[in-house]
Amino acid sequence: MTLRDLYLSDLTQLLDSTRQKLLEWPILASRTESALLRDAFDQHYAQTRIHQTLLESVFTHLDERPRPAHFEAFATVVRVWRTRHLEADAGLMRELSLVTTALAMDHHTLPIYAEAITAGSALGDSDGARTLSAAAAEEQARANRLALFHDWLATQFGTVERGQWSLQVSNRLWVSNPGRVSALASSSESDLLIGTSSARHE
């Protein structure tokens, strides 16, 4: 396998994974009870469509056509975590599974982006490497935001009565946090909530 072969293989994997993500974001959005998380998944869907176009443009730039492929590794990640959130009871457990599913999908593709950027740069494809770097940075940023939501969920387990919980998270958590600084490191739990109302779920 030549370096160009590796580059094209990475691009093909990224494009296939992107197409699979486009099928999953609406499923995650439909299952969450958090308006903030639903909006995030909707934003991820819109962003992923842009990433699909960008990846296709790299193929065009290289005078290559995307090769039909379906990579089982990513499909397995999606399948495993989909089963988890489909089986999880409504409430905090399901929200945790939904966030973890989203993190698992993006964390799977970030190393592939890194390798493709390195290969593209080594081959002199600076335009392609820049395009990939921008897409990877956006995926990393949204993973950081999801990780903050993960941190907040961790404060909720054991702190509310059975069947009562709130997912009213402050919008200020939903900002880009490239340093992956946990909101819990500098904010009290009261800062993370809007109001004190709880929703009851059967």
Burial class (CB in 10 A: 0-12, 13-18, 19+), 21: buried
Of the pLDDT bands very low, low, confident and very high (cuts 50, 70, 90), residue 151 is: confident
pLDDT value for 193: 29
More confidently predicted of 72 and 190: 72
Nearest Cα residue to 109 out of 169, 42, 52 = 52
- CA-derived radius of gyration, the chain: 19
- So what's the pLDDT on residue 69? 73
Q: Are 142 and 88 in contact (CB under 8 A)?
A: no
Instruction: Identify the residue with better confidence: 177 or 6.
Output: 6
Rounded Cα gap, residues 42 and 160, in angstroms: 28
Task: Please list the residues that pair with 164 across neighbouring strands.
Answer: 200
pLDDT at 167: 45
Q: How many CB atoms lie within 10 A of CB 38?
A: 16
Distance, C-alpha 68 to centroid of its chain: 24
Check whether 187 has a pLDDT greater than 70.
no
Tens of pLDDT, residue by residue over 90-144, are 888 899 999 999 999 999 999 999 999 999 999 999 999 999 999 999 999 999 8
The strand ranges marked E within the chain are 164-165, 199-200
Q: What is the pLDDT of residues 26-81, one digit of tens each?
A: 999 999 998 889 999 999 999 999 999 999 999 999 999 887 777 788 889 899 99
Does the domain made of 3-200 have the CATH classification 3.40.50.720? no
More confident residue, 123 or 190: 123
The structure tokens 């599913």 sit at 101
Confidence of residue 158 (pLDDT cuts 50, 70, 90): low
- Beta-carbon contacts of 52 under 8 Å, excluding residues fewer than 6 positions away, are 15, 18, 19, 22
Q: Which tokens hold the place of 140?
A: 């990393």
